[in-house]
Amino acid sequence: MVSFIVHGGAWDIPDELVDAHRQGVARAMQIGWDILSHGGSGVDAVEKAINYLEDDPTFDAGRGSFVNAAGEIELDASIMNGTTFRCGAVAAVQNIRYPISLARLVMDKSEHVLLAGKGAVQFGAENGVQQCSSNDLLVGRELERWKDLLAQKNYSTKDAFQKKKSLPSDTVGCVALDAAGILVAGTSTGGTPNKYPGRVGDSPMIGCGTYADSAIGGVSCTGWGEAIIKVVLAKTIVGLLEVNGGDTQAAADEGIYRLEKKVEGFGGVIVLNSQGIPAFSYNTPRMARAYRTTAMSDACIDV
């Protein structure tokens, strides 16, 4: 049994952007599925599917990411192997085209879990990852958004998430169960629009935006990072799965319920259990997602 689930953010995705989101998660799904269904590793499936989404400017990850308050693009990502418990993460890295690959390098080649800022970039350079230019990451849509937000006095991410519930939240993530029974989760993001320089969200924090334990389940989250961190959402859901007999839908729904109830948070989650049973849950108007298991003849894709 192999299984794969992908998300491309949870928010009030406008009608005119639905197709681009659908196509993006469908393509990422296909990339991950091709690897898994040919006996490839979950780590490869997660990394390569996320690389595709990091290239697709539709999403807030890699190219197309939000711009911070200083006019820079700072990226966060993490990946975790649920069998070895090895994990790697990078936070607030600049000029990195594929942050999930740098996170994988931290997992594979360093003795650390999380490297931030210049140190992460230096570690990448020492291992053959060169910096890209800002123009490789910046798209016109985000430059315009940044200018608009700068012009708005008293703009607050918290208000945007809580009052309007429409803040773009286009982070990407995947969870894979490979033929060896290894669960792998990964997440990559540009964070939130106009974030304070150095701000780090849930995505690179193991247990918050990403978690995997092959004996129980794997999770990737998206949404308002400051709230997701407070309820340690990914690990909370894995903890729920551990005691509910592996019911992925119940654990995903309870996780989102706690996110909203305890910290007024908004977002979405994707989950696989140790058997590869998928589920997703969100309390935003829409969430881009796709999933497939060996038991399915085709992927289920929706926004």
Known catalytic residues?
171
Single out the residue of 202, 213, 253, 254 in contact with ligand ASP (rule: CB under 6 A).
202
- Which among 28-36, 77-85, 106-114, 164-172 is the span making contact with ligand ASP, rule CB under 6 A? 164-172
What is the pattern of x (binds ligand ASP, CB under 6 A) and - over residues 233-252?
--------------------
CA distance 290 to 24: 10
Sheet holding 278-282, edge to edge: 210-213, 217-223, 267-273, 278-282
Query: Which pair of structure tokens corresponds to residue 153?
Result: 């006095």
- Which among 81-89, 148-156, 186-194, 291-299 is the span making contact with ligand ASP, rule CB under 6 A? 186-194
The answer to whether 57 contacts ligand ASP (rule: CB under 6 A) is: no
Contact 203/78 with Cβ under 8 angstroms? Answer: yes
In the complex with ligand ASP, the residue whose CB is nearer, 36 or 138, is 138
Residue type, 254: E
The answer to whether 284 contacts ligand ASP (rule: CB under 6 A) is: no
In the complex with ligand ASP, the residue whose CB is nearer, 266 or 291, is 266
In the complex with ligand ASP, the residue whose CB is nearer, 142 or 202, is 202
Single out the residue of 2, 4, 5, 9 in contact with ligand ASP (rule: CB under 6 A).
9
Q: How distant, in Å, are the alpha carbons of 1, 87, 234 from that of 240? A: 23, 21, 10
Helix or strand run (H / E) with residue 37: helix 15-37
CA distance 10 to 21: 11
The answer to whether 225 contacts ligand ASP (rule: CB under 6 A) is: yes
CA distance 197 to 47: 26
Q: How many residues does the chain have?
A: 303
The answer to whether 169 contacts ligand ASP (rule: CB under 6 A) is: yes
In the complex with ligand ASP, the residue whose CB is nearer, 203 or 281, is 203
The answer to whether 192 contacts ligand ASP (rule: CB under 6 A) is: yes
Between the CA atoms of 213, 107, 31 and 200, what dihedral angle is there, to the nearest 10 degrees?
90
Question: Where on the chain is the footprint of ligand ASP (CB under 6 A)?
Answer: 9, 60, 169-171, 189, 191-192, 201-203, 222-225, 228
